[in-house]
Amino acid sequence: MKLSRQNIRTLAMPLAMVVGVALCRPLDVVERVTEHTLTPVLIAAMLFITFCRVDIRQMRLSWSHIWMLLIQFVGAAVVYYAVTPILGETVGQGAMICVMAPIAMAAVVIGGMLGGNVTMMVTYSLVCNLVTAIVAPYMLHAFGNGSCTFMEIIARVAPTLIAPFVVAQLCRWLLPKVAQWFAAHSSISFYLWLISLILVMGRTTLFILNADADPMMEVELALVALVLCFVQFKAGRFLGRYTGDVVATTQSVGQKNTIFAIWLSLNFLNPIASIAPTAYIVWQNFANSWQMWKHERRAK
């Protein structure tokens, strides 16, 4: 039974990606019928379950958080100025947004399954998104059209991050037995994430198929995203060796909120640049599948 469960978890993410690609058009119909609310609802639900495990009294800022924020924002500027002279403004914007994007909502779920410090990652998720809402408008003013505001970003992240956290903490306080049940069955969040991943991959595939861009630029954006995905996962792993939690920092630095990054690209950068975070979705989930395989293999 244990072996079967391990095999299912190891294969689940690649399988979900394949299903999303194969069913991209029917999934698009589902998304339109639900007015694109299904994925945010699933993400909010999985985060609520994960947040039920977190005691707000144990949340603390640490040097790890500061270093990860520096990697995010200083790294984004460095990447932009390094890539733009070689591959052009659009590819530079795509590279920049792949680094500037905040931690993915699912990073806490995946990190928890891999044995990472969930409380540390939840703290970073909240801090990272708040700092992104403050800093991103200035960076988008420098590298994009400059029309983004703090409130636009907060309005985007509040329903899927801040609201589930507040509700989970109220549940821990007012309905502790309910919160304990969700905390004890936190693996449910992984299966909610798989459904979300299928929907996201369907949307990603359709976006790439319908993209009106030069094929060579699409390839450049996808390859830049691949390199940055590898570098950021490695940077998180390197940082974790010094701060004491390799899994948490690897997930926090490497796994990006690509849906949010695509939204930023489409609205405040050259829309073609959104192909980079779109490709990043694929690369980071391959990375997560590999990490899950290694983790389950060690657990046998």
pLDDT tens track for 220-276: 999 999 999 999 999 999 999 988 889 999 999 999 999 899 999 988 999 899 999
Cα 292 from Cα 165, distance rounded (Å): 25
Residue 7 has pLDDT above 70, yes or no: no
User: What pLDDT digit, counting tens, does each position of 61-96 carry?
Assistant: 999 999 999 999 999 999 999 999 999 999 999 999
Residue 4 has pLDDT above 60, yes or no: no
Let me know: does 112 contact 53? Beta carbons within 8 Å.
yes
Q: List, in sequence order, the alpha helices (H) in the chain.
A: 2-22, 24-33, 38-51, 63-87, 89-100, 107-113, 118-143, 150-157, 163-174, 176-184, 188-210, 215-243, 246-254, 258-268, 275-299
pTM as predicted: 0.90
Let me know: does 65 contact 178? Beta carbons within 8 Å.
no
Q: Which domains does the chain have, with CATH numbers?
A: 2-299 (1.20.1530.20)
Let me know: does 42 contact 223? Beta carbons within 8 Å.
no
Nearest one of 17, 47, 45 to 111, comparing CA atoms = 47
Residue 104 has pLDDT above 80, yes or no: yes
7 half-sphere exposure, CB direction, 13 A CA radius = 4
CA of residue 179 relative to chain centroid, distance:
25
Cα 69 from Cα 253, distance rounded (Å): 9
